[in-house]
């Protein structure tokens, strides 16, 4: 079903995260928030005011933060661990592996300002490896919502899910794509637009760019299917196989390295089940330069017009 895109009203998914977390915490007294001096950037100010005894700020000590959260989970709490995704996944990967994934601890990892949202702060603050690092770990669903509505639904799901998960949230404003009341189902893609010529797959901040690219392609007589693949693991294999068989070509785009992320996950399903021509758009295996997120996405060929151009080039191989 085609979804309209507002080009004027953009929302910060962190606001939806914070509001939903506060709502869930008012219902469930075992929910706590844990952060690394990131109350402001994680939008936890309201949570701190409402539940001052349920916010634990460990300081800039991400490894300790994850270990503390595992202990809280063992004690019957449901910790939502909030930090910039580059530091949460990079600095604390061993603890995420041993204390959370291996132990199957009921901890919700919230990677804030993911991708190149901290673009002006340079490569040390870019988080373009987090899909690759987290999606290889057993027991750990990896999720990147496309808008505020899916963010809220994913947080509600995470609060009720008896196990660990990693949610990747940007600070870059995005339009609404999904209807109010949307229910998040892990491992299930949303078909935002029908099409039979090619399939465009994205998640997070790239989903609305894919929709705009589909509009450009439509004007050139190309009917593109658009899938919002919010769950990188477990990935919706059925939707990918159907896309390969029914449209014969697939383009992926992500605010991540082209190695190990969404495009790689889609390619693994395609090569095992229904090989078709593919194009993976993302950061091409280099450290991204300093610049705004919008600039960097355009620089790496993920402006809607560039996505459409890459799709047309791919179709010549179909």
- How many helices (H) and strands (E) are present in the chain, helices listed first? 12, 12
Whole-number Å distance between alpha carbons of 54 and 194: 45
Percent helix / strand / coil, the chain, rounded to 5 = 45, 20, 40
Helix (H, G, I), strand (E, B) or coil at 35: strand
Given the residues 22, 62, 150, 255, the one annotated as active site: 62
CA 60, distance to chain mean position in Å, is: 24
What letter would DSSP give residue 103? T
Helix (H, G, I), strand (E, B) or coil at 276: coil
Q: What angle do CA 120, 206, 183 make, to 5 degrees?
A: 120
57 CB-contact burial (10 Å; exposed 0-12 / middle 13-18 / buried 19+): middle
Whole-number Å distance between alpha carbons of 191 and 225: 7
Per DSSP bridges, beta strands 55-57 and 190-193 are unpaired
Would residue 180 show up in a list of annotated catalytic residues for this protein? Answer: no
Long-range own/partner contacts, residues 41-49 (CB < 8 A, 24 or more apart): 41/14, 41/84, 41/112, 41/113, 41/171, 42/14, 42/18, 42/82, 42/83, 42/110, 42/112, 43/14, 43/15, 43/17, 43/18, 44/18, 44/82, 45/18, 46/18, 46/19, 46/22, 47/18, 47/21, 47/22
Active-site amino acid positions: 62
């Amino acid at each position: 079903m085609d979804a309209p895109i507002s080009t004027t009203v953009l929302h910060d998914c962190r606001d939806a995260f914070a509001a939903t977390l506060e709502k869930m915490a008012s219902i469930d007294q075992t929910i706590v928030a844990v952060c690394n001096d990131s109350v402001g950037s994680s939008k936890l100010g309201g949570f701190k005011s409402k539940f001052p005894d349920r916010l634990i700020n460990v300081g800039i000590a991400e490894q300790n933060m994850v270990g503390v959260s595992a202990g809280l989970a063992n004690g019957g709490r449901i910790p939502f661990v909030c930090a910039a995704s580059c530091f949460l996944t990079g600095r604390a990967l061993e603890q995420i592996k041993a204390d959370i994934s291996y132990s199957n601890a009921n901890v919700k990892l919230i990677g804030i300002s993911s991708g190149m949202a901290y673009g002006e702060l340079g490569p040390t603050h870019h988080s373009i490896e987090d899909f690759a690092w987290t999606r290889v770990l057993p027991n750990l669903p990896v999720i990147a919502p496309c808008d505020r509505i899916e963010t809220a639904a994913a947080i509600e799901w995470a609060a009720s899910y008896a196990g660990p998960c990693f949610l990747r949230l940007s600070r870059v404003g995005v339009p609404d794509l999904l209807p109010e009341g949307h229910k998040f189902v892990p491992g299930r893609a949303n078909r935002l637009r029908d099409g039979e010529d090619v399939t465009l797959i994205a998640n997070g901040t790239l989903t609305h760019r894919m929709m705009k690219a589909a509009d450009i392609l439509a004007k050139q007589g190309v009917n593109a299917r658009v899938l919002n693949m919010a769950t990188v693991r477990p990935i919706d294999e059925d939707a990918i196989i159907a896309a390969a068989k029914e449209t014969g070509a697939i383009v992926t785009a992500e605010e991540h390295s082209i190695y190990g992320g969404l495009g790689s996950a889609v390619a693994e399903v395609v090569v095992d089940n229904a090989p078709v021509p593919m194009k993976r758009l993302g950061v091409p295996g280099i450290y991204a330069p300093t610049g705004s997120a919008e600039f960097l996405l355009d620089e790496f060929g993920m402006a809607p017009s560039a996505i459409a151009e890459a799709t047309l080039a791919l179709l010549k191989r179909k």
